[in-house]
């Protein structure tokens, strides 16, 4: 049986949609730009939200790409056969162009045609939206699948929980989807077996979303004027569909596993979970550290997730006998595997290795502190029982893995209240999720006047910082809600009060002048030649939007903007602080007179 390689699938996918008149666009950063709803880019559609809402994309109405994505909601599940925190999502989009018929027909052609993937039709199952009080049953998608030749017994009608996307926030674009599954070798779990039962017979690998409704603040679902198509197909999942096995049984992971085996002297077959966790978490850490924004480990936001991934990888590396510095060597193998596809990893190789070494060393000290705390707690026990709260404190405060707590407790004949620990951990997760929901409410579709004004103010702030502090200032991330802006930038020290005042003055000067905000669509080379700043993520020849604010700012951007600086009001920096090593963070607000 032919085994497909990841490079071959990437090439085939982009070539197929180029033949369907789609423009190939670059992968965006894994750190969302001006998106308060998520910490990481979790799907190919995130960078395209402005265009799904109606803005004109420089490359047209048919787009395709392969987007770097990170999802960290199931970190504890990594180690099984299906979960990864980093993955590549192949996607194609219609911005008010084609709709359901073309989208489904092209998916079917790419999947089943011998010229492309050649998956047997008998191995395919699909689901469609069954309908509810908000929107009718998607019989249109059902009829299209049936006419194409999809086995009717493997077409399933499922509810909104399974076959509906969005909105990302409280309001915005949403609609039914149709999902495509590979039928595994597992037998049906019963007469009602379907892709919704989770028995493992059906493995999803492609999702076609039809954004045809807008959910209003009142909870109504109104038809959209511009109907869009957003599809996503995970590269790792496609390789499973084609080659069998798990998401880890591909050429994406084989060189990483080889590095782990060389360092540990232990085999993958005898240590699957540890291998998978180390490989997955280190790969994700490499892509976060090597990103254009270059996030580093910290105790907040993306930096906190990065630190957690690195430390979990270190814990499992220790189980295999891999000594301090091992993660950096594994990272070298990851950079070598991906550097041709994602050259930013090679560009940032030294920084990736340095940060991993630093965090490994820092975690070793933390573990020593955790061991001392464990000894202190265990010495004070009167009944030989460690309660769940204490076990959770060791995990949460000292990064002490529960597995290590259980191991040490067994050596001392101490019983750990594991259920109590799990309950405390679950409570912590619920509180974190509730906090995130509150923090990020508003949604990807929040392109209100307030956010547009703050977006424009961010450009002025960036330019003002470069004028006050020098050209070493570079954007390292931004986050905008309707109430405030947050801007991360590279700088080696805390700003003085005088520098903060000077920065505010430049921004307010531009606002008082009432400068028109204009944009033009140019190639990347043209943008560079005109002195535009920003993230140069696009490839040569791609068109980008460059926003100009008089003599104050010229920046590459795709977000919403005010028409004139006079609309912005008064600009005020409310906090300047450290975000992570070498990165400062400014929080600022606009107030209307």
Which residues belong to the annotated binding site? 455, 459, 557, 561
Binding-site residue ranges for Zn(2+): 455, 459, 557, 561
Q: Residue 377 CB: number of other CB atoms within 10 A?
A: 18
* φ, ψ dihedrals at 233, nearest 5°: -135, 120
* φ, ψ dihedrals at 417, nearest 5°: -75, 80
In sequence order, what DSSP letters do the residues of 105-147 get, joined into one string?
Answer: HHHHHHHH-TTTT---GGGEEEEEE---SSS---HHHHHHHHH
21, with CB counted inside 10 A (0-12, 13-18, 19+), is exposed
Cα separation of the two ends of the chain: 71
In sequence order, what DSSP letters do the residues of 351-396 get, joined into one string?
Answer: HHHHHHHHHHHHHHHHHHHHHHHHHHHHHH-SSSEE-HHHHHHHHH
- d(C-alpha 289, C-alpha 279), whole Å: 15
380, with CB counted inside 10 A (0-12, 13-18, 19+), is exposed
Query: Sign of torsion, CA 43 45 48 49?
Result: negative
Annotate 244-302 with three-state secondary structure: CCCCCCCCCCHHHHHHHHHHHCCCCCCCHHHHHHHHHHHHHHHHHHCCCCCCCCCCCHH
Element (H, E) at 204: strand 202-215
In terms of residues, how long is the chain?
Answer: 593
For the record, the structure tokens of 31 come out as 């750190």
Contact 273, 330 (CB under 8 A): no
- d(C-alpha 416, C-alpha 283), whole Å: 33
Element (H, E) at 87: strand 86-95
For the record, the structure tokens of 8 come out as 């071959």
Q: Residue 542 CB: number of other CB atoms within 10 A?
A: 16
């Amino acid at each position: 049986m032919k085994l497909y390689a990841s490079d071959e699938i990437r090439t085939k996918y982009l070539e197929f949609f180029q033949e369907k008149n789609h423009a190939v666009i670059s992968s965006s950063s894994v750190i969302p730009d001006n998106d308060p709803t998520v910490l990481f880019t979790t799907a190919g559609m995130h960078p395209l939200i402005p265009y799904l809402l109606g803005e004109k994309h420089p490359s047209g109405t048919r787009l395709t790409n392969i987007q770097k994505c990170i999802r960290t909601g199931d970190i504890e599940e990594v180690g099984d056969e299906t979960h990864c925190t980093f993955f590549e999502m192949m996607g194609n989009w219609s911005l008010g162009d084609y709709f359901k018929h073309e989208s489904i027909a092209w998916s079917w052609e790419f999947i089943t045609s011998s010229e492309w993937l050649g998956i047997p039709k008998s191995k395919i199952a699909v689901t469609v939206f069954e309908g509810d009080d908000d929107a009718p049953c998607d019989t249109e998608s059902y009829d299209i699948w049936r006419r194409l030749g999809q086995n009717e017994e493997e077409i399933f009608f499922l509810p909104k929980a399974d076959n509906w996307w969005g909105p990302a926030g409280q309001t915005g674009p949403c609609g039914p989807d149709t999902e495509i599954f590979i039928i595994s070798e597992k037998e049906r779990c019963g007469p009602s077996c379907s892709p919704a039962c989770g028995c493992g017979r059906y493995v999803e690998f492609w999702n076609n979303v039809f954004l045809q409704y807008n959910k209003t603040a009142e909870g109504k679902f109104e038809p959209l004027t511009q109907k869009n198509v957003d599809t996503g197909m995970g590269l790792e999942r496609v390789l499973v569909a084609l080659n069998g096995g798990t998401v880890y049984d591909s050429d994406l992971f084989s060189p990483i596993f080889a590095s782990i085996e060389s360092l540990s002297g232990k085999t993958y077959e005898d240590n699957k979970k540890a291998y998978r966790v180390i490989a997955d978490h280190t790969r994700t850490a490499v892509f976060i550290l090597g990103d254009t924004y270059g996030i580093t480990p910290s105790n907040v936001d993306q930096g906190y997730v990065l630190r957690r991934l690195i430390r979990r990888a270190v814990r499992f590396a220790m189980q295999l006998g891999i000594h301090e510095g091992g993660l950096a060597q594994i990272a070298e193998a990851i950079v070598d595997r991906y550097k041709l596809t994602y050259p930013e990893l090679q560009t940032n190789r030294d920084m990736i290795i340095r940060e991993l070494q630093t965090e490994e060393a820092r975690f070793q000290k933390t573990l020593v502190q955790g061991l001392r705390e464990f000894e202190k707690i265990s010495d004070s026990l009167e009944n030989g029982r460690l309660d769940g709260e204490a076990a959770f404190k060791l995990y949460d405060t000292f990064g002490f893995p529960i597995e290590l707590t259980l191991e040490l407790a067994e050596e001392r004949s101490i019983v750990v209240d594991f259920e109590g620990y799990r309950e405390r951990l679950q409570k912590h997760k619920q509180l974190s999720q509730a906090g995130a929901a509150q923090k990020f409410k508003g949604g990807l579709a929040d392109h209100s006047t307030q956010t547009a004004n703050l977006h424009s103010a961010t450009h002025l702030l960036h330019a003002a910082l470069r004028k006050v502090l020098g050209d070493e200032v570079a954007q390292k991330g931004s986050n905008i809600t309707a109430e405030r802006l947050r801007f991360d930038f590279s700088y080696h020290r805390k700003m003085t009060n005088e520098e903060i005042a000077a920065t505010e003055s430049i921004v307010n000067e531009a606002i008082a002048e009432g400068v028109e905000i204009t944009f033009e669509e140019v190639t990347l080379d043209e943008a560079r030649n005109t002195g535009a700043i920003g993230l140069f993520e696009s490839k040569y020849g791609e068109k980008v939007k460059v926003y100009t604010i008089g003599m104050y700012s010229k920046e590459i951007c795709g977000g919403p903007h005010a028409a004139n600086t006079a609309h912005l009001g008064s600009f005020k920096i409310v906090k300047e602080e450290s975000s992570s090593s070498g990165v400062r963070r400014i929080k600022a607000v606009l107030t209307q007179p």
